[in-house]
Amino acid sequence: MREVIQIIKAEIVKSHQINFGDKRNYFIVLLWPILLFFTAYYSYKPLSFSEAGWSIFESKEVIIKFLIIGYLAYNCFFSLVRNALFMRNEREEGVLEIIFLSPAKRFALMYGRALGTVIQNVWMFGVFTAFILVYIGGFEKSTLLFFPLVFLLICISAGIWGGLLNTLFLFSRDTLVIFYLLDEPMLLFSGVKMPTAIFPFWAKVISFIFPITYVLYIARGTLMSTETLYELRGAFVALVLLLCIIIFTTSQLLRLAEAHYRKSGNINFY
Amino acid sequence: MLEAVNLSKTYRFAERKSFFKTNHRDICAVEDISLKIEEGKIIGLLGVNGAGKTTTIKMLSTLIEPTSGQITFNGIDCVKNPFELKKRINMIAGGERNLYWRLSAVENLEYFGALYHIPKAVLKERIKDLIEMTDLKEYEKAPVETYSKGMKQRLQFARGLINDPSLLFLDEPTLGLDVPIVAQMHHYIEKIVKEQNKGILITTHYMAEAEKLCDYIYILNKGKVNIEGTPSEIINLSDINSTVTITTNKEVLQKKWVHIETESYRKLGVKPEVDEQKQAISIHIKKEQIATFLQVLIAYDLVIHGVEIGDPKLEDAILQMSGDVRCEK
């Protein structure tokens, strides 16, 4: 276990050293999701949701809360897609080969990278989100009590999701297809900008693939509807099951990826 | 000791025939190679581009699985248990790759050290020693992207030693480096073999480098071991002669040249050449014939001002043998 922690820590530190050598990057990771959030908010603001049948958006405050929670989770999950893309550079620079030459636990490497990214990319936006929630709703008990737990849940779920993405990106350097598959579809189907309840059946089925869908349901349930944890138990069970499936799939894919490049000899191309 | 027996590797390549059709072709990169790497020895793996050097080094270092054959390290089957070998080896490649350029030397070494589960205190001490050894103290906190090519290669050397490996694989470690940096690299390699008893497998295109460093050499051609032996054994396998050059006195040379030429040809079967401007005689003969040639000169009372013996080079021997059908293992 000590070895696993050492690798995860090394990955987090390395990721931070590479991505935040320029301190302006701290503000970029805050600015980008804020811009996305305001773009979505001002797109919705002039619309009359009661006429469209979206009864959930009953007030301006509700829209802000809905979107800010959505973008917090999306920022977290999407930063991992970008991070996994970074693996392509490491592959071509020959660093990935040197990493796989070592006896480091592969599982720890994949999750360490994911956690490093999550922690660095979302803490500032997390603080911003907490500030917005308090600004709108005041120091509500639900916000103070549940926001740290929801934030932790988002980070853990995103970290597990990121481990899978990192592993998928081990298979090939031609991974842009995964990037396109996971960018807009995740934003659309997971309910970041709109409630999944309004989706047709086929879209709801797609939304179940993404763990972020369940995370958002739980996050909004606790922070907006003040549903009890007991009432959210179904979503919790589904999320835990999905995360277990993702962890299992990651471990199998990791084994296959290493066997694949040991056979094909193509962990890097130069 | 690492021992490879009958290693072969076949790759499958995809060849695009049309937009919808792809053909697959098998190419044998390495065929039936057997070799040993002992601790405290430097083993050379030579050959032209595409001879199979990199595939061999990657199989031995667990990065590629052989199609057939065995690799054992002190009795452990490394094909089945690659992680056992991974703990005890490391690899250094030539060029400027295999490092994080945005990190400093210390940050790179801390990261790669953590991958080998080295305790923090031990790692700190080792990084300090390696930074000193590779002369990077002054720049240890600067990003690698600001380093010269030689500094990057020195850092690669430190990275390769971070886990204190028993065996080190060097894949063209001096590629594209200036002469002083090459000398420095050679110094490091010889130092770690002598002082730390590490085993080294080095691939190189530079024959002089192989001749200087290697205790034993395998020469690959089209994926097979063509020639193997110590550098001197390989030189002796060839017909390359030593060049003996004698400087003397012009007047003496003019008087006695005809006799020396005749007598040399009679005894050695080779005629010497004369350079009157340089006042020198030179002859291309086997090493064991040098004494006979000197006896001829002494017999004619030639005044000898200087003797220069040019030993045959490994490069000449390999060049000769690579075009020689008689070259066999």
pLDDT in tens, B128-137: 999 998 889 9
In terms of pLDDT, which residue wins out, B328 or B179? B179
Task: Identify the pLDDT of residue B327.
Answer: 37
The CATH fold assigned to B242-311 is Alpha-Beta Plaits (3.30.70)
- Domain ranges in chain B? 2-237, 242-311
User: Which of B184, B62, B71, B99 has the alpha carbon at shortest distance from B135?
Assistant: B184
- Residue B109 pLDDT class (50, 70, 90 cuts): very high
Instruction: Give the confidence band of A52 by pLDDT, cuts at 50, 70, 90.
Output: low
Predicted TM-score (pTM) of the model is 0.81
Instruction: Return the pLDDT at B325.
Output: 38
| Closest alpha carbon to B106 in B133, B134, B135, B142 | B142
- CA-based nearest distance A1→chain B, Å: 11
Closest listed residue to residue A11, CA positions, set A121, A147, A115: A115
Ranges A61-70, A121-130, A251-260: which has the least confidence: A121-130
Q: Cite the DSSP H helix spans in chain A.
A: 2-19, 25-44, 49-52, 60-92, 95-101, 106-137, 141-168, 176-182, 184-189, 201-207, 211-223, 233-264
Angle (deg, nearest 10), helices A60-92 and A106-137? 160
* Per-residue pLDDT, B43: 95
Any A CB within 8 A of B27 CB? no
How distant is the Cα of A90 from the closest Cα of chain B, in angstroms? Answer: 8
pLDDT at residue A58 tops 60: yes
Whether A144 has a pLDDT exceeding 70, the answer reads yes
Q: Are B293 and B268 a contacting pair, CB within 8 Å?
A: yes
Of the partner residues A6, A101, A270, the one whose CB lies closest to the CB of residue B61: A101
| Residue B286 CA, distance from chain mean position | 25
Interface ipTM:
0.82
Put simply, the chain B residues between 145 and 174 with a CB less than 8 A from any chain A CB are 159, 163
Q: Could you tell me which of A242, A220, A245, A240 has the C-alpha nearest to residue A231? A: A220
Q: How far is CA A211 from the centre of its chain?
A: 9
Nearest CA in chain B to A22: B102
Chain A, nearest residue to B117 by Cα: A3
Average pLDDT of the segment spanning A41-68: 73
The region of weakest confidence among A93-107, A167-181, B112-126 is A167-181
CA–CA separation, B70 vs B66, rounded Å?
A: 8
Q: Residue A261's closest CA among A105, A106, A99, A100?
A: A100
β-sheet with B2-16: strand ranges across: B22-37, B2-16, B68-73, B76-77
Choose the mutation target among A13, A93, A101, A269 for the interface with B, i.e. most B CBs under 10 Å: A101
A159 lies in some domain: yes
Å from A88 to nearest chain B CA? 13
What is the structure's pLDDT at B160? 92
Q: Which of A18-32, A119-133, B87-101 has the lowest mean pLDDT?
A: A18-32
| One-letter identity of residue A118 | V
> Contacts of residue B111 in chain A, CB cutoff 8 Å?
10, 13-14
User: What is the per-residue pLDDT for A56?
Assistant: 65
Number of structural domains chain A divides into: 1
Q: If DSSP states are collapsed to H, E and C, what string results for A50-101?
A: HHHCCCCCCCHHHHHHHHHHHHHHHHHHHHHHHHHHHHHHHHHCCHHHHHHH
**Tell me, what amino acid is at B66?**
P
Fold of B2-237: Rossmann fold (3.40.50)
> Does the pLDDT of residue A267 top 70, yes or no?
no
In a domain, A269, yes or no: no
- With cut-offs at 50, 70 and 90, classify the pLDDT of residue A168: confident
3-state secondary structure chain B: CEEEEEEEEEEEEEEECCCCCEEEEEEEEEEEEEEEECCCCEEEEEECCCCCHHHHHHHHCCCCCCCEEEEEECCEECCCCHHHHHCCEEEEECCCCCCCCCCEHHHHHHHHHHCCCCCHHHHHHHHHHHHHHCCCHHHCCCEHHHCCHHHHHHHHHHHHCCCCCCEEEEECCCCCCCHHHHHHHHHHHHHHHHHHCCEEEEEECCHHHHHHHCCEEEEEECCEEEEEECHHHHHHHCCCCEEEEEECCHHHHHHHHHHHHHHHHHHHCCCCEEECCCCEEEEEECHHHHHHHHHHHHHCCCCCCEEEEECCCHHHHHHHHHCCCCCCC
Q: Is residue A270 in some structural domain?
A: no
Cβ proximity of A84 and A169 under 8 Å: yes
d(CA A193, CA A74): 10
Most confident of A28-32, A184-188, B291-295: B291-295
Q: Which of residues 33-62 of A touch B (CB under 8 A)?
A: none
Nearest Cα neighbor of B219 from B319, B106, B105, B75 is B319
The model's pLDDT over B246-258, given as tens digits with 9 standing for 90+, comes to 888 777 777 788 8
For residue A67, pLDDT beyond 80: yes
Residue A180 belongs to a domain: yes
Q: Report the chain B residue with the minimal C-alpha distance to residue A6.
A: B114
By residue range, what is the domain housing residue A135?
Answer: 2-264
Question: What gap in Å lies between CA B166 and CA B193, rounded to an integer?
Answer: 10
pLDDT band at B326 (very low <50, low <70, confident <90, very high): very low
Q: What mean pLDDT, rounded, does chain B reach? A: 87
Highest mean pLDDT among A23-32, A239-248, B306-315: A239-248
Note the pLDDT tens digit of each residue in A82-121. Answer: 777 778 788 888 898 899 999 999 989 999 988 888 877 7
Residue A269: pLDDT band by 50, 70, 90 thresholds?
very low
Residue A108 in domain: yes
Assess whether pLDDT exceeds 90 at residue B69: yes
